[in-house]
Structure formats: structure tokens, C-alpha cells
Amino acid sequence: MIPTWAQLLYLLGAVAFILALKGLSGPKTARTGNLIGAVAAVLACAIPFFYADLDHVPLILAAIAVGTAGGLYGARTVQMTQMPQMVALFNGVGGGAAALVALLELHEIVELHDRFPGYDVESFTLVATAFTILVGSVSFAGSVVTFAKLQELMTSRPVVFPGLPVLFGGGFVAAVVISVLMVREPMMWGGIALALLGLLVGALLVLPVGGADVPIVISLLNAFTGLTVAAGGYVLSNTLLLVAGTLVGASGTFLTLLMAKAMGRSVANILFGALKGGSTLGAGEASDRPVKSAGPEDVAILLGYADRVIIVPGYGLAVAQAQHTLRELVDVLIARGTQVDYAIHPVAGRMPGHMNVLLAEAQVPYEQLIEMDDINGEFKNTDVVLVVGANDVVNPAAKTTPGAPIYGMPILNADEAKQVVFMKRSMRPGFAGIENELLFEPSTTLLFGDAKESLGKLLNAVKAL
């Protein structure tokens, strides 16, 4: 029985998690929200040591120490470009941990059931246990595959093979059948089989997903993990786990739907579109079509004498770690009297809010970060759009080319500006694997080279005007 004081602290932790989620909804309060959530998590882990009769305390403390060291190391050493795969990995660990805890609880239930034939367990508890084992395993395996795709340990293109739908469907049906049998009669072999089927279904769920869709799948798997934690909270009679898991599950679900809407596609199409050739496909071949290019001095003249400039940041900016140089360039332009804003597409980068975090790291004022819906009407009145490391989020094919992988995805209307400057390493297409016709328009100029190096030269050239 949990004592009253511990229940009150759990309630306080639940309120703190809600406040943390609220804080994370905006860039100005995100740091505070993250800190509140971290303190609540530490509180939740510490409480059981003061009221519960725990076994294997040294092993528990050792595991906490290893996890703390790993978290600190990751937080300090992982680059911004690797943040999505770290999120995927941490999310998978959460789902896997929930599945293992549910398996241990199932083992205890089976032992009691065998020792005391009259021992009865609520059906809903067994349903929650089976759900946690299955969905936690799905989340773990799926997150490992997304990590491998983002870390380029495997191809980012969809992996499809004959019989995949049949194998996926068969595995899912078998998992449902075993879950029903487990609810009727608790059995350890059923839990192990359910975990193995969950690993299979999780891997097959993510393999057909193309590179540009992986961030949305990470969000979906995050929701899965939250739901497993909530179900695990019910199994363990832990209200704090139930509240925290519900928050993560609900927010992850909403985020997944919002990101899918931003891509102009349904979640089902994102997950299974490759089976009929409709998913974003990953990297394609470089184009050899002629384009208009220029050097830093020519681009500096365009920017230096413009009244209105919009910056479109993308994943290439993160790869080059050029956000600080870009901010310096913007500061110089603003000092010259130019109005400059950053246009933020909701799925730019490799995870939700990637560009917001990247630019906040460079201390770009939040007021300069304008969301797509708020800035799209401004492009037609803009003298120069500077695209730094982005591609698909300004590709007009999303509006003009039915059948294109990104067709229907809302984009930034950079093509409506008077002049567009693309900073690119090469003519390789974006993550969707298709050419961007905007690159070949008469109003578009390309500045080739590493973003950080090119921005440095551009900064010096603007200062020299």
C-alpha cells in the first residue's frame, strides 16, 4: 500500500509533468519546462526508495548510475544533426523497458496463478499487460530501425520485399490471438511470443518508410511508448506513470497528426505508401541541368541592397553547423536597415522544432522565427529569399506535380519572391529524391559550397559593401 505522503508527492510530480509539457509548447519557456520535467522525473524515481521494500537495491542504483552517465554523455556530445536519432533511440529504450516490466509482472501473475489455483486476476489488468508487452516491443524495434535509417547504418529509402504486407498482417493477427489467449489464461510463453511478434511487427512497420517521413514515424512511436507507459502504470497501480504515459501518448498522437497534415498526407499513407510507390523515397541522383550560379560577392550585393529578406533554414544548415555565422550575417543586414525574418517550415530538418532549436542555440531572437502559415503571404513582397540547406520545403512540385512524393505537402512560397538564392553543396535533390524546379527558374541564383564557409565569405562581402 502506497502511503499518503508518497501519493501526494506522486500527485505533485504529475502536476509538474503537465506544467513541463505546457512549458515545452513554446520556445521561450521550453528550457524551464524541460527543467521542471527533469526534476519531476528524479522525484518519481526517488520516492519508492523511501517507502517500498525494494529488492536488489545495489543493482537498481548501479542501473541508475549507468543511465545517468549515458544521458549526460549523450546530452554533451551528440551533435544537433544527430539529435533525431538520439530521440529515436531514447524513445525505443522507453518502450523496451515498459515491455520488460510488463513481462516481469506477467511472470509474477503466472507464478501466483500456478501456486494458488483459485487466484484470480482482473481481465483488464491482463489486457493492459498484453498491450504493454506488444506495443512496447513494437516501439522498441521500430525505433531501432528509425535510428539505423537516420544514422545511415542502413538505407534511408523504403525497404520493401514480396510478402511484406502478408508477413506484417500475419504477425499482427497472431499477436492479437495470443493476447486474447493470455487474457483468458495467463501464460509466460504467451508473453515471450507476444514480445517477439512485437519486435517483428515494429521492424516491418518502419522498413517501408522513406527518409523524409522518418521524423513523423518517430513521433508516432513516441506516442506508442507513452501509451505503453500508461498501461504499465495501470498494471503497477502507479498513478504517476499513468499520468506521464497518457501525456506522452496524447501529445505524441497530436504531434503525429499535425506533422502528417503539414506533409499534406495521411498517417496511413506515410506508413504504407511505399507499398504502392507513394512514399518519400530518400536521396536521388544529382541533376546535370544548367543553372545560374554566382559567387559570394554577387550574392552580397543582392542581400546588401534588399529591403526585405527571408531566410529559409534546413537540415543542411545543421549539418554545416553554420547557424552562428548565419545569425551574424542577419545581424549585419538588420544594421543596414534590412527587414529580415526566418521562415520555419514545420517539418524542416529531421524532427519537429529542429530549426527552432538550432537557431535558438545561436541566440536568434524568437521574434524573428516566423511559422509557415504566418509568413507565406510575405514572400510576394520579398526582395530576396536565402535558402540555406533546405530543399523539399520550398519545392513547387508539392503544388504543381501530381504523383510527386511530396505532392500536397504545404510548402513555403519562396517561388513568389523577386529573387531566390539557394546555398547548396551540389545539385543532389532533397530527401524526397526529386528535382526542385525552383533551382532552374530565371529568378534563382545558386551559391555552391559548404554552408558555413559560404556564409563566412558572404558575411565578409556584405560588410565590405
8 Å CB contact between 422 and 435 = no
In the structure grid, which three cell numbers stand for residue 465, read together? 559593401
Q: Distances in Å between the alpha carbon of 392 and those of 77, 127, 217, 448?
A: 29, 43, 18, 18
Question: CA torsion sign, 314 to 316 to 319 to 322?
Answer: negative
* Sheet order of strands, 444-448 included: 369-371, 339-344, 308-313, 384-388, 419-424, 444-448
Continuous segment of H or E residues that includes residue 233: helix 214-235
| Sequential DSSP letters for 160-227 | --TTHHHHHHHHHHHHHHHHHHHHHS--HHHHHHHHHHHHHHHHHHHTT--GGGHHHHHHHHHHHHHH
CA distances from 344 to 73, 126, 207, 431 (A): 30, 45, 29, 17
Q: What are 41-49's contacts with CB under 8 Å, separation 24+?
A: 43/9, 43/12, 43/13, 43/16, 44/10, 44/13, 44/240, 44/241, 44/244, 47/6, 47/9, 47/10, 47/13
CA 47 from centre of chain: 31
Which residues are annotated as catalytic? 392
Largest Cα–Cα separation, the chain: 88
Best CA proximity match to 83, nearest among 17, 147, 154: 147
